[in-house]
Amino acid sequence: MNPLDLGIPPEAQPCFAFVNNSCPRKVRSVLSVGAMYTVMAGAIVVTVLGNAVVIISIAHFKQLHSPTNFLILSMATTDFLLSCVVMPFSMIRSVESCWYFGNLFCKVHSCCDIMLCTTSIFHLCFISVDRYYAVCDPLHYVLKITVPVIQVFLLISWSIPIFFAFGLVFSELNLIGVEDFVAAIDCAGLCVLIFNKLWGVLASFIAFFLPGSVMVGIYVHIFTVARKHAKQIDPGPEMKRVGSESKRKASAKSESKATRTLSMVMGMFVLCWLPFFVLTITDPFINFSTAEDLYNACLWLGYFNSTFNPIIYGMFYPWFRKALRVMVSGAIFHPDSSTLNLFSAHA
C-alpha cells in the first residue's frame, strides 16, 4: 500500500505498511538509531545487573537480613522489574516511534510503567524515613524501625501505586475532556499516556511531588541534625585545641561525607524525575504540543533514577562491595557462603 494513500508524508514511513490508518514512523539516521539503542540498552543492562546484585546480596547473605535491608531489597526488586517489563518496550517505542505490541498490552505496559515508577519513588521516600530515625533518633531506632513497620512501608509502597495505576488507566479518568484530541491522533501503532488537566496535576502530586517533598524535607532535616551533632562534638576552647584536633578532623570529614551523600541522593532524584512531572502537568495546558522526542528524553531521564538507585543505595555500603567481590569470584557458590561476615574492617 502506498504511504500517500494513508495520508502519510513521503519523507515518513507507516508503522504498519498494510494497515489502514497506520501511524507514521519517524525516520531517523542510522547514527541516531544506533546511538539511541546503545544508550537505552546500556541503561537497561546496568539497571538489571545493578539491582540483581542488590537482590542476590540481601537475599543470600544472612547477615544482611535486617528491616532496613528488606526495604532496600524491595526497592531493588521494583527497579529490576521496571528494567525487564517496562524499559525494553519503551526503548523500541522511543526509537521507532511506533508501538508493535497491541492495544491491550499497551494498557498493561502503561499500568506497569506508572506502578513501578511510583513504587520506586515511594520506596525512596520510606528509605528517607528510615534514615531519619537512624540519624536523628538513634537510641530508639531499633524499637521504631521493626519488621512490622517495614511491612507497613512495603504495603503502602506497593498497594497505592497498583490501585492508582491500574484504576486510572482502565477507568480512563485521565481522558475525560480530551476525547476529541485522542480521536484526532488515534492511529494503528500509537501507545501514549495522555492526561487531562486535572489528572496531570493529581497524578504528578501522588506519584512525585508528595513523596518527593517528604523525602527532600527529611533529608534537609537530617543534614541539619548531622551538622548540629558535629558542632556539639567540637569543644572549641583554646586549651583543648591540640587534644581535640583529631575529633574536629573526624567531624569535618563526617560532615563532608554526609553533605556529598545527601546532595547526591536529593540531586539525582530531583534531576531525574522533576522534568518529566513538570512536563506532565504543563502539557495539557499547552494543547499537548510537547515534542515527542522531548517527552521521551524526560521519560528516560526518570528511568535512569532506577539505574542509579543501586549505585547510590548500594555501592556506598561496604557490605555491597564485599558481596559483589564474593559473587564475581564465585565464592558465593561455596558451602556456608551465606554466613560470611560482610562487615569486617577490610570490607
- Integer angstrom CA distances of residue 257 from 68, 131, 147, 261: 21, 15, 29, 6
Exposure on the CB side of residue 45, measured as CA atoms within 13 A: 6
Distance CA 84, CA 45 (A): 9
CATH code for the domain in which residue 114 is found: 1.20.1070.10
What type of residue sits at position 299?
A: L
Torsion angle defined by CA atoms of residues 287, 293, 294 and 296, in that order, rounded to the nearest 10 degrees: 100
pLDDT of residue 136: 86
**Which H helix or E strand runs over 151?**
helix 147-171
**pTM metric for this prediction:** 0.87
The total of structural domains in the chain comes to 1
Question: What range defines the domain where residue 242 resides?
Answer: 31-316
Q: What is the pLDDT of residue 255?
A: 52
How many angstroms separate the CA atoms of 210 and 96, rounded? 34
Q: Reduced to 3 states, what is the DSSP secondary structure of residue 236?
A: coil
Q: What is the C-alpha separation between 72 and 51, in angstroms, rounded?
A: 10
Q: Tell me, yes or no, whether 9 lies in a domain.
A: no
Q: 334: which residues sit within 8 A by CB, 6+ positions away?
A: none
In a domain, residue 304? The reply is: yes
Cα angle vertex 129, ends 126, 135, to 5°? 145
Binned average pLDDT, 10 residues per bin, the chain of 347 residues:
45 82 91 96 96 93 90 94 97 95 96 96 92 87 92 96 96 94 94 95 96 91 78 56 55 55 79 96 94 95 93 75 88 88 64
Report yes or no on 91 lying in a domain.
yes
Question: Is residue 335 in some structural domain?
Answer: no
Phi/psi at 24 (nearest 5 deg)?
Answer: -75, 140
The answer to the question of residue 17 being in a domain is no
DSSP H helical ranges for 172-209: 179-185, 197-204
What gap in Å lies between CA 211 and CA 204, rounded to an integer? 10
The pLDDT of residue 271 is: 93
Give the list of residues 6+ apart from residue 136 with CB closer than 8 angstroms, or none: 221, 222, 225
171, three cell numbers: 477507568
Torsion of CA 142, 143, 145, 150, to 10 degrees: 120
Q: What is residue 3's predicted lDDT score, i.e. its pLDDT?
A: 44
Residue 168, judged by CB atoms within 10 A of its CB (0-12, 13-18, 19+), counts as buried
As a whole number of angstroms, the distance between CA 79 and CA 159 comes to 16
Instruction: Output DSSP code: residue 343.
Output: -
CB 23 within 8 A of CB 14: yes
Q: How big is the CA angle at 41 (ends 52 and 114), to the nearest 5 degrees? A: 70
> How many other C-beta atoms are found inside a 10 Å radius of the C-beta of residue 194?
16
User: Residue 68: its pLDDT value, please?
Assistant: 87
Residue 137 domain-assigned (yes or no): yes
- Identify whether 130 is part of a domain: yes
| Nearest alpha carbon to residue 57 among 334, 237, 326 | 326
Helix axes 197-204, 147-171, angle to 10 degrees: 170
| 46 within a domain of the structure (yes/no) | yes
